[in-house]
A = this chain, B = another copy of it.
Amino acid sequence: MARKHAADLPLRLDNQLCFAVYSTAHAFNRVYKPLLDQLGLTYPQYLVMLVLWERDGVPVKDIGERLFLDSGTLTPLLKRLEAAELIKRTRNAEDERQVLIALTPKGDALREKARAVPQSILAASACSIGELVTMKNEIVALRDKLNKVLGE
Q: Is the CB of B125 within 8 A of A68?
A: no
State whether the Cβ of A146 lies closer than 8 Å to any Cβ in chain B. yes
Contact partner of A25 (CB less than 8 A), chosen from B25, B43, B136, is B25
From A56, which residue of chain B is reached at the shortest CB distance? Answer: B3
Interface contact B22-A149, CB-CB below 8 Å: no
Per DSSP, are chain A's interface residues mostly helix, strand or loop, or mixed?
helix
The distance in angstroms between the C-alpha atoms of A15 and B112, with both chains bound, is: 18
Nearest residue (CB) in B for A66 is B13
Query: How far is B21's CA from A125's CA once the two chains are assembled, in angstroms?
Result: 13
Would you call A18 and B121 a contact (CB within 8 A)?
yes
**Number of copies of this kind of chain in the complex:** 2
Given contacts A13-B66, A50-B11, contact A24 B115 (CB under 8 A): no
Set B7, B20, B54, B146: member contacting A143, Cβ < 8 A: B20
* Minimum C-beta distance from A59 to chain B (A): 17
Given A21-B25, A21-B28, CB of A10 within 8 Å of CB of B146: no
Contacts A/B (CB < 8 Å), 20 sampled: A8-B53, A8-B54, A11-B118, A13-B50, A13-B51, A16-B136, A17-B135, A17-B139, A18-B28, A21-B24, A22-B43, A22-B47, A23-B67, A24-B143, A25-B25, A28-B146, A31-B150, A125-B145, A126-B149, A135-B142
